[in-house]
Structure 1
Amino acid sequence: VISHRVGTPEHTSTHMDAPYHFAKFAWKLDQIPFANLHGPGVVLDREKVKKTPPGEEATVDISDAEAWESKYGRIPKGAIVIMNSGWSKYWPDANKFVGSEDAFDPSKPTVYPGMSGDLAKWLLYNRDIVGVASDTISCDRGSDLEWPVHKILLPENIWCAEMVTNIDRIPVNGAELYFLPMKIREGSGAPARVFAVWKDKKEE
């Protein structure tokens, strides 16, 4: 018989921030309904952001969501909006990934792409989404020390997933995304398995 012991922080590698992470009254990880863990994928894939070098910052904002809608129509109900900055290519170089000369020194500023607080507000008040996701270490920009995206969305039971990879392999529209975190009792977050399902156009 083979058996191993596993230990991990909640917020590490590809993971989900439960709404409870920023709001004591919001859903804890084990309270999130399965219906809110999957939905139509809306990939905000901005070339300008993807060309941003380490140590510089770029923002995904309302104009990116509007540009997506101009091509594919209104963001569908129950959608998951995911930022594809191309940043996962810097992993596991921690200094490049967080845009700091010393990633393990909390006194050093971090610089990496993220969503704007204005985009978070726009999604909250104008669309009906279940979650947002990013391929960086946070849905907020590295310099946004007030965590606007987290503070706007999580108290409304809209979760945030971070350090998602291989986003380039899924279509920017037409995929069903699944975010399945470890079901930690009363958790503020957990490592998650993320996958997408879509119909290949060649099959049509």
Structure 2
Amino acid sequence: MTLLVQLAEAVAAGTIEVVDLTAPLSHETPILHLPEPFNNTVQFSLREISRYDERGPAWYWNDIVTGEHVGTHFDAPVHWITGRDGEDVSQVAPRRLIGPAVVLDASERAAQDPDHLLQVEDVREWESKYGPLPEGGWLLYRTGWDARAGDQAAFLNANETGPHSPGFSVECAKWLAEETPLQGIGVETVGTDAGAAHSFDPPFPCHSSMLGAGKYGLTQLRNLDRLPARGAVLIAAPLPIVRGSGSPARVLALVEH
């Protein structure tokens, strides 16, 4: 029996669970809000073409209106100025959309401090318990932020000083990008960077470092609490948009029971 047949049978039998890490995509999906004078993305919406009526008696379909970086989405290197000569989303090799995933849980600390930043020593501590970060893998950063996803205001968590949500320190982002074998990071928040990352030096260090190194980002994930610290396999499926800086994505994890 081949490995692929064994995999298919294990999925059918439920000994390998398929966990959906994707947030539902609708007009209520929270989106990033940049201050003036910067332009912002549009919210997701459906524009009905026909629905079993005179416009099309036997079929229902819609046009969709959305931005590349709305909801659970994939960041390609070309999304950031440091990766401007890198891949667009259509150029990402399919084999790089599948890889081992590890989960680092900082949800208790983020509950106490919404501006909590992951540090290099936090990842080193995780490695001392669970082993080295996987080659070609994904680090998924669990903060519990997905519990806020049904409320735009709570999800962005902004006040007069700007948004407040957890993320990565400048040093950690640079280290993950340049000194680890990871191919990407995934978060539950609206973007891979902390809410206050506009004030960091450099600003938005995850975008700057990870995408500049030809690595990837996944955002607005959910159900990370259903994954083990180590052992899951992640599948990310963005649309292959030519010249696209990113895409809404269906993100799945395979977990063995």
Fold equivalence (TM over 0.5): yes
Which of 186, 196, 201 matches 2:243?
A: 186
Question: Letter of the aligned partner of 2:92 in structure 1?
Answer: I
Which of 135, 144, 149 matches 2:197?
A: 144
Give the number of the structure whose residues are more often strand, by fraction: 2
What does 1:99-110 align with in structure 2 at a 5 Å threshold?
A: 99-101=157-159, 109-110=162-163
Post-superposition Cα deviations, 1:55-74, rounded to whole Å, max 9, x if no partner, equal: x3111121221122111111
Give the drift of 1:117. 1.9
Post-superposition Cα deviations, 1:69-123, rounded to whole Å, max 9, x if no partner, equal: 111111111110111000010112111111114xxxxx86111001122112222
Match of 2:93 in 1: 33
Question: Letter of the aligned partner of 1:119 in structure 2?
Answer: C
Please give the alpha-carbon distance, in whole angstroms, between the structure 1 residues aligned to 2:215 and 2:112. Answer: 28
SS in 2 for 1:149: helix
Match of 1:49 in 2: 109
Question: Letter of the aligned partner of 2:137 in structure 1?
Answer: A
Unmatched 5+ residue regions in structure 1? Answer: 102-106
SS in 2 for 1:122: helix
Which of 229, 243, 255 matches 1:172?
A: 229
What percentage of aligned pairs have identical amino acids? 32
Question: Letter of the aligned partner of 1:36 in structure 2?
Answer: R
Which of 132, 140, 146 matches 1:82?
A: 140
Please give the alpha-carbon distance, in whole angstroms, between the structure 2 residues aligned to 1:48 and 1:86. Answer: 8
Please give the alpha-carbon distance, in whole angstroms, between the structure 2 residues aligned to 1:156 and 1:65. Answer: 19
Detail structure 1 runs of 4+ shifted over 3 Å in the superposition. Answer: none
Give the drift of 1:45. 0.5
Q: Is the 8 A contact 2:130 2:229 kept in 1?
A: no
RMSD: 1.5
How many corresponding residue pairs? 193
Question: Letter of the aligned partner of 2:211 in structure 1?
Answer: L
Q: Is the 8 A contact 1:38 1:80 kept in 2?
A: no
- Find out whether 1:67 has 2:125 as its counterpart: yes
- Find out whether 1:14 has 2:14 as its counterpart: no
Q: How high is the TM-score relative to the length of structure 2?
A: 0.71
Match of 2:179 in 1: 126
SS in 2 for 1:129: coil
Q: Is the 8 A contact 1:83 1:115 kept in 2?
A: no
Please give the alpha-carbon distance, in whole angstroms, between the structure 1 residues aligned to 2:125 and 2:181. Answer: 18
Q: Is the 8 A contact 2:78 2:245 kept in 1?
A: yes
Which fold has the larger relative contact order, with Cα–Cα distance below 8 Å and residues 6 or more apart in sequence?
1
Give the drift of 1:4. 2.1
SS in 2 for 1:4: strand
Please give the alpha-carbon distance, in whole angstroms, between the structure 1 residues aligned to 2:146 and 2:195. Answer: 15
Please give the alpha-carbon distance, in whole angstroms, between the structure 2 residues aligned to 1:29 and 1:49. Answer: 33
Match of 1:104 in 2: none
Please give the alpha-carbon distance, in whole angstroms, between the structure 1 residues aligned to 2:168 and 2:99. Answer: 19
